[in-house]
Structure 1
Amino acid sequence: MSLPKTLAEDVARNLVMVARLIDEDPEEAYAYSRIALRLASRVAAVREAAGFAAYATQKYAEALAEFRAARRMTGSVELWPVMADCERGLGRPERAMAMAGEPEVQKLDKAGQVEMRLVAAGARRDMGQIDAAIVTLQSPELASSSVQPWTPRLRYAYADALLEAGREDEAREWFGKALEADKDGATDASDRLAELDGVEFVDVLGDDEADAAGEAAPRDEDGPADGSAKA
């Protein structure tokens, strides 16, 4: 709203493309974010979008700078967890841990606090403190039977930390709980469970062979297409 109409529309189009592409083609999303940034660097939403696009392409120093700029413009703390995760990406887990103890965390909503807990646990793991990471993830949100948007990732992170600590039976249980809550496929909990159970998915035919076979004979509707599972 602070921009002239034509410029605002150009910026908006680029931000829409960032949102559409950031998961499937982060490099392309990043390119669109740079255009928007060139057009309207004084708009907080543009700086935030540029930050997420840089974050998605692992340009953590650039992402952190953009998130800091957006925070200065808005005064909001909602980017605090992802800023801390950028510190992890830059190889500074101790800074991420310091941020986890700052007053800003108490100003976050529940989702933001859970995200901060995930980042802090990741920082503990970065520093080789696996037991501390497990304790960090133990929380009322983890113990709750209520499924929230953050539940699958929280349970998954806990399972992964347990597995790293050698607590395989508990890890299997929590990967299962993550899978139960993960209706949208946000994690690969099903694959992790399969690995723990010794299940390996293999291609019966290579890609070229499968194409040739598909051309040579009709597919049996009752049989497997191009792969199978073996224990």
Structure 2
Amino acid sequence: MSVPRIPPITFAHRGAMARERENTLSAFELALRLGASGLESDAWVSADGVVVLDHDGVVGPRFRRRPIAELPRSELPAHVPSLAELYAACGTDFELSLDVKDPAAFAPVVAAVRAGGAPERTWLCHPSLSVVTAWRAQASDVRLVDSTRVSRLQDGVRGRARTLAARGVDAVNLHRLDWTPIYVDLFHEVGVHAFGWDAQSRSAIDQLLATGVDAVYGNHVDRLVAAVARFS
């Protein structure tokens, strides 16, 4: 996949969550119908080994919430889809960004992606560089993303770009306010993609796209798609 990515990926954050209940099949299906080229969610593994999509990994009524990892798939709320169900409903003709917050879920997630999805179009994200680095040794076919902030880069932007390239990490995902055209160029120079998240208003999306990033994450799919069309 070339760097820079033209046009940039439009990742629908938790599906078309501005119009449908987040992280549901209806939200993901609507996002694709609205023109999103990518979907975003968080991946968890149930007690019986099923990869499911949910934001914070806990379910149930207030004061009785339980981690998904403690429950079998059959006891999860009906609105929580499995990754296999996402593929069955939406196919695989889109980029898929998954936050894998529990490192132990990485292997089951990769297995589910290989079984029903498109590994080369799947971006697995985590905020720890050491975790992402270890993942590369476990799987060479999926895309890996270092999710961080510029303020946390002890090695600096240029240093982090070189580190990611050396370790085979495909992209860095920063908040939209962190990005500048110079920073984007530093990552592009070493073949690392630049992703930006929290692009919500039209002006925020336009400002982020103007830096030259390769992907934008937002809740309003129509705004993302329209902005990319304007820049293209």
Higher strand share: 2
RCO higher in 1 or 2 (8 Å CA, sep ≥ 6)? 2
Larger radius of gyration: 1
